[in-house]
Chains A and B, each alone.
Chain A
Amino acid sequence: MTGNEIVKAALLGTEKYMPATWPELGETGTKIMALPTGSEDRFLKLAITALLYEEAGRKPVAVAGTIPICPPEVRPLAGAQLALLLRTALETNDTEVFQYFVYLVTKKNLVLPAEMVPMLLNKALANKRTAERLVQLCGETGRWLCGFNERWRTLLLPQEGDNVWETGTPESRKAYLLATRRADPALAVSLLASTIDKENAANRVALLEQLQVNLSPADEPFLLGLVADKSPKVKQTAISLLQRIPGSAINTMYLQYLRQTVQIKEERYLLIAKKKVLVISEVITAGEELYDTGIEKLSAAKDMPDYLFIIGQLISLTDPAVLAGELGVKEEELLTMLLQHKEGQKLLPYLANAAALYANKVWARILLARNDGIEIKLLEALPETERRHFYGQFVAEQLPELLSYLFDDVYSAMDVPLAEQILTQLIKKYYKAQVYNRLALHLPFEVMPRLNAYIDNLRDDYNGRYVKGNIAGMIRIMEVKRQYY
């Protein structure tokens, strides 16, 4: 009551309200009230005496409940050096280096010291994509702490509940559909079919695009239903998927047209020997139904005749193995004959596209061996061990795309010659700092002298300074990496 009385008098002013003394103040209160001074003086003395009495006489409160002790860690603790490097990267927002050390700690199945756990859990909240991995690094301490913190507790919940498809964000729904498509293609189609009418056009396109994975003839009925969609973009997306399904009505139509226009003939040469020759009919016999599926009639390039342009488009959407079978030749034979055709070089991009689209290893190997960097997606047709022989041809023209193949999840170090080739290219063009930083984690230590030489020799203009700064950053990252290599 004392405190309330003081506040009341202070708020209203002693002119309007002057409290009497309180029994708790005893004789002191009485003495103050008896002072022959003004009410303000008496009030101020009364207030400070009462407040100090109250403060000095305060007692601790009963604290209900206790916190159970954190269970011991099951997995070994990361060493001080590794933990320190990871912490420094986290505190200095050194994203690429942080991700690298997270990878290392995860790979070694270690947990991080308890002091680091709160900041790691906060980091996990900020990026849900990597949250699960970070929570793993926090070990038992992390799980224990999450039990007391509502925000962190969400990190332990299963990532996106069962109803993500119904209630998730567009991004999480896309991710969910893609994951379902990978695990159970038919289920993904039925999921999409159940809601497609309620989606807006942009969502319909975005979700349809997820069906590119594991495309099969079983998808045809659903996709055919979307060919009549009122949105041109949805229609186009559905057709582009149908075009790629071997055995679909559209794809079969393409194959039939190719069989009519592309023929393998035997020709005699040197009188006694026979040679297979590929002949492409220059007469266009395609009906409107072919063009309705998105195939273009007229070539925009002067040196590309229309008949060849149509053939090229159809080849690019046909599985090379199926086409070779239809024509009664082997895949490599077909490719060789196509390339030997008088107009064959013009078909090269289409051939590469078909090989990439249908992951045809035979065609991919032959086309990549030409070493002309025609289509980087051809790399996807080959296993990783085989790809590295062909990386060099893409350095000059398609470095950003090549880096997406090189920046793997296990931070593989690249070969020295390739690294040097990339560095030469890197100083000619300018990339974002993140590219330099991530690259540093894949470079072999042998290129350090070369990086140092760049620092000494690059020009001191604006661009030179930009590259120098980034190269200095790469050297720093490589040094950091070497501290725990």
Chain B
Amino acid sequence: MQYTRDQIITLAPDEASAKAGLQLATGSKWVVKAGNSKALWGDCQGSGKTPYKTIVDLTNIAFKCSCPSRKFPCKHGLGLMLLYAQHPGAFAVETEPPPHVTEWLGKREEKAEKPQQKEEKPVDEAGKTKRAEARTKKVNAGIEELRGWIKDVVRAGIMNVPQQAYQFSETITARMVDAQAGGLANQLRQINKINFFKEGWQRQLIKRLSAIYLITEAYKNADRLPADMVTTLQTLIGWTQAKEEVLQRTPVADTWLILSVTTTEEGNITTEKIWLYGSSTARFALVLNFYAGGQGQQQLLMPGMHIKADVVYFPGAAQWRALIKEYQQVETAIALTVLAEDMETVYTLITQQLVQNPFTEQIPFLLGNARLVVTGNAWFLGDENGLGCAVANTDDECWRMLAFSKGMSFTCFCIYENEQIVIHTLLAGDKMCFVR
């Protein structure tokens, strides 16, 4: 295992867990600490009499701990892994793990194999069609209502929206949920992210409203659109694709670099976004995981990890969402093909993407020979031709990046979103700086 401290920290569910994990990464806290190539296990002396039994599966990162914490991974799991990253010599090497470790690892292996043994249930085609028709009816009714609402808004004008920003789209969002058009509801929720106290909200709001209107218009004319675009529209409206069906598609085998892992929370749902980049295919892939409440993460992929994996893309027009079929960690770093060496190329890529799919929310790109430039309080990502664009990273992130790059050129992984560019990862030589 060659996980770095920073990689392990990214697994922490929150800052408090990361801090607590760091504090537990000292030998004195662990009555037992041992491991082998497959797993680490240890007994951590907490405040009670019985030490907590912690296990880390190293083959396919996963944690188990007997502590009552609902966080996942808990501080003990993080602490054990951090301790190993810092002092592997402090761990006893045991080829034969204790029974509780063997049992858990065995269960995990069994579970991993189970989906293949799943028996196919007979499908009630008639029922399925009936349900689909009923849903289409509901969705269509919802869409008509939404179109009417948007028209009412633009007829009356948006001048007074900031005064009732939160309630503005609340009712229609709820209506979209009722109409089983969850995708449209999500689109409407994006309105809440607009900063109505900052100049420029008018453009953002009208763009969002007219984009939603365009989705509904395109959906109404779906019979005149290519199949891929129809699938994209269905996803945008709220139809989901079963994982099992997606996994049947032809996979793309490659060695992938995990470029960034970010999580956002909305309500009780945590969304994890994992961006991958294929070394030989030079393709991006976005793995989305959704966790409700205290549900633990399924794929513990860390930024900077290289994995050999079969990745299956969701159907749709020019999009990156994918599933990882199976993967194996690769220890050696791989060379990346950087498609953009200047900002002109980046903007061309953005244009091409919008032409293929005007509904694209995020456009990833790798830019080589990039530099950071600060003018006053504004930060720019520039190329060697003196061209660039403003970056939407926070000031703290920009200073970290400048310190890391020391004014020299670097390769960076960025995401274009909401007409802004955000740098996620910097790569310089064999070093990486995970900004987000």
Residues on A facing B (Cβ under 8 Å):
3, 6-7, 9-16, 38-41, 43-45, 47-48, 51-52, 55-70, 81, 84, 88, 91-94, 114-115, 117-118, 141, 144-145, 148-149, 465, 469, 472, 475-476, 478-480, 483
Q: What are the residues of chain A within 8 A of B375 when measuring CB–CB?
A: 63-65
Instruction: Give 4 closest A-B pairs by Cβ, nearest first.
Output: A13-B157, A60-B343, A48-B210, A63-B388
Question: Which of the residues A16, A114, A115, A141 comes within 8 Å of B157, measured between beta carbons?
Answer: A16
Judged by a CB distance under 8 angstroms, whether B91 is at the interface is: no
Closest Cβ–Cβ distance, residue B21 to chain A (whole Å): 10
Q: What are the residues of chain B within 8 A of A57 when measuring CB–CB?
A: 351
Cβ–Cβ contact A60 & B389, under 8 A: yes
In the bound complex, what is the Cα–Cα distance between A63 and B379 (angstroms)?
10
Q: What are the residues of chain A within 8 A of B358 when measuring CB–CB?
A: 52
Closest Cβ–Cβ distance, residue A386 to chain B (whole Å): 35
In the bound complex, what is the Cα–Cα distance between A268 and B285 (angstroms)?
107
Question: Which of the residues B87, B151, B156, B202 comes within 8 Å of A44, measured between beta carbons?
Answer: B151
Judged by a CB distance under 8 angstroms, whether B159 is at the interface is: yes
Closest Cβ–Cβ distance, residue B406 to chain A (whole Å): 4
Cβ–Cβ contact B217 & A60, under 8 A: no
In the bound complex, what is the Cα–Cα distance between A11 and B199 (angstroms)?
13
Chain B's closest residue to A469 (CB) is: B47
Q: What are the residues of chain A within 8 A of B343 when measuring CB–CB?
A: 60
Q: What are the residues of chain B within 8 A of A70 when measuring CB–CB?
A: 406-408
In the bound complex, what is the Cα–Cα distance between A13 and B154 (angstroms)?
5
**Known A63-B386, A118-B396; contact A10-B154, beta-carbon cutoff 8 A:** yes
* B288-305 contacts to A (CB < 8 Å): none
**Known A63-B388, A68-B407, A69-B408; contact A10-B347, beta-carbon cutoff 8 A:** no
**Known A40-B151, A67-B371; contact A52-B403, beta-carbon cutoff 8 A:** no
Cβ–Cβ contact A62 & B387, under 8 A: yes
Closest Cβ–Cβ distance, residue B125 to chain A (whole Å): 38
Cβ–Cβ contact A479 & B151, under 8 A: no
Cβ–Cβ contact B354 & A63, under 8 A: no
Closest Cβ–Cβ distance, residue B47 to chain A (whole Å): 7
* B371-410 contacts to A (CB < 8 Å): 371-375, 380, 382-383, 386-390, 396, 399-400, 402-404, 406-408
Q: What are the residues of chain B within 8 A of A13 when measuring CB–CB?
A: 154-159
Chain B's closest residue to A465 (CB) is: B47
In the bound complex, what is the Cα–Cα distance between A221 and B211 (angstroms)?
84
Cβ–Cβ contact A12 & B159, under 8 A: yes
Closest Cβ–Cβ distance, residue B387 to chain A (whole Å): 4
Which residue of A48, A91, A117, A478 has the most chain B CB atoms within 10 A of its CB atom? A48
Q: What are the residues of chain A within 8 A of B23 when measuring CB–CB?
A: 92, 94, 476
Residues of B contacting A: mostly: helix
When A and B form their complex, what is the total count of cross-chain residue pairs whose Cβ atoms lie within 8 Å?
172
Closest Cβ–Cβ distance, residue B17 to chain A (whole Å): 12
Q: What are the residues of chain A within 8 A of B346 when measuring CB–CB?
A: 60
In the bound complex, what is the Cα–Cα distance between A61 and B390 (angstroms)?
9
Judged by a CB distance under 8 angstroms, whether B26 is at the interface is: yes
Closest Cβ–Cβ distance, residue B142 to chain A (whole Å): 18
Judged by a CB distance under 8 angstroms, whether B318 is at the interface is: no
**Known A48-B213, A63-B380, A67-B372; contact A10-B158, beta-carbon cutoff 8 A:** yes
Cβ–Cβ contact B29 & A476, under 8 A: yes
Cβ–Cβ contact B209 & A44, under 8 A: yes
Cβ–Cβ contact B28 & A479, under 8 A: yes
Could you write out 25 A-B pairs with CB less than 8 Å apart?
A: A6-B206, A10-B206, A11-B158, A12-B157, A13-B155, A40-B150, A40-B151, A45-B214, A59-B344, A59-B347, A60-B343, A60-B346, A60-B387, A60-B388, A64-B375, A66-B382, A67-B402, A69-B406, A69-B407, A92-B23, A114-B403, A141-B406, A476-B23, A476-B28, A479-B28
Q: What are the residues of chain A within 8 A of B217 when measuring CB–CB?
A: 45
Closest Cβ–Cβ distance, residue B9 to chain A (whole Å): 9
Judged by a CB distance under 8 angstroms, whether B330 is at the interface is: no
In the bound complex, what is the Cα–Cα distance between A145 and B406 (angstroms)?
9
Q: What are the residues of chain B within 8 A of A43 when measuring CB–CB?
A: 154
**Known A47-B206, A56-B354, A84-B5; contact A114-B406, beta-carbon cutoff 8 A:** yes
Cβ–Cβ contact A11 & B355, under 8 A: no
Judged by a CB distance under 8 angstroms, whether B71 is at the interface is: no
Q: What are the residues of chain B within 8 A of A117 when measuring CB–CB?
A: 403
Q: What are the residues of chain B within 8 A of A55 when measuring CB–CB?
A: 350, 354, 419
Cβ–Cβ contact A66 & B203, under 8 A: no
Cβ–Cβ contact A40 & B155, under 8 A: yes
Question: Which of the residues A39, A47, A84 comes within 8 Å of B86, measured between beta carbons?
Answer: A84
Q: What are the residues of chain A within 8 A of B355 when measuring CB–CB?
A: 56
In the bound complex, what is the Cα–Cα distance between A141 and B406 (angstroms)?
7
